[in-house]
Amino acid sequence: MKSLGRSLTIALMSLSTVTFAQSDPHKSADTPKPPTEAQKSFDTIKTLAGVWLGPVKVEPPMPEMDDKPLRVSMRVTSRGNALVHEMNEDKPQVDPTSYDHPVTMFYLDGDRLLLTHYCDAGNRPRMAARVSSDGKTVEFDFIDVAGSTQFGHMNHAVFTIIDQNHHTEDWTYLMPGDKPMHAHFDLQRAK
């Protein structure tokens, strides 16, 4: 019986030593890692949460779109793990099947910041981020697309933060035949 008690005491002491070693705040395993470039880019994009208003300019010119007032709303969701970006005309909408209303999701995937654009063309292109040296511009390059590209697909996006109440978005859409169409949004935070 003495040997069982002694063995139990030694086992408990060993377990407590392991527990204390794992919780030692000076151990390098517990030291927070510095944020990756992807995390920094995601944190930058998340500062845009809110409602934004402004005109759109399209190249080549499209009279039905140029200078049209645009509303962009962005919200952080999923415990901070995603940002939802929605754009539509700045007027009341009743039937979502009768007007353009693309939704874009931003999220981290390992060491990359990705976006998936749920396009009115019926497809879902994915893009990966690059951040500028000043940290104010996040540029997204095309990776792949799911769904039909019969009517074209979004191919590139650039977000530039001017200040906390002003940013621009540049979206490039590849029309059938890979003809690029560029849309520039100059957005002010709604009051």
C-alpha distances (whole Å) from 44 to each of 83, 108, 113, 190 are: 11, 13, 11, 19
pLDDT of res. 15: 44
Question: What tens digit of pLDDT does each residue of 15-41 get?
Answer: 444 444 444 445 556 788 898 899 999
Residue 184 has pLDDT above 90, yes or no: yes
Question: Is the pTM higher than 0.75?
Answer: yes
When pLDDT is averaged across residues 145-158 and rounded to a whole number, the result is 96
Q: Count of H helices and E strands in the chain?
A: 2, 10
Percentage helix, strand, coil for the chain under 3-state DSSP, each rounded to 5: 20, 50, 35
When pLDDT is averaged across residues 153-176 and rounded to a whole number, the result is 97
> Distance between CA 122 and CA 108 in Å, rounded?
24
> Distance between CA 166 and CA 187 in Å, rounded?
6
Question: What tens digit of pLDDT does each residue of 56-111 get?
Answer: 999 998 877 777 889 999 999 999 999 999 998 876 665 666 657 899 999 999 99
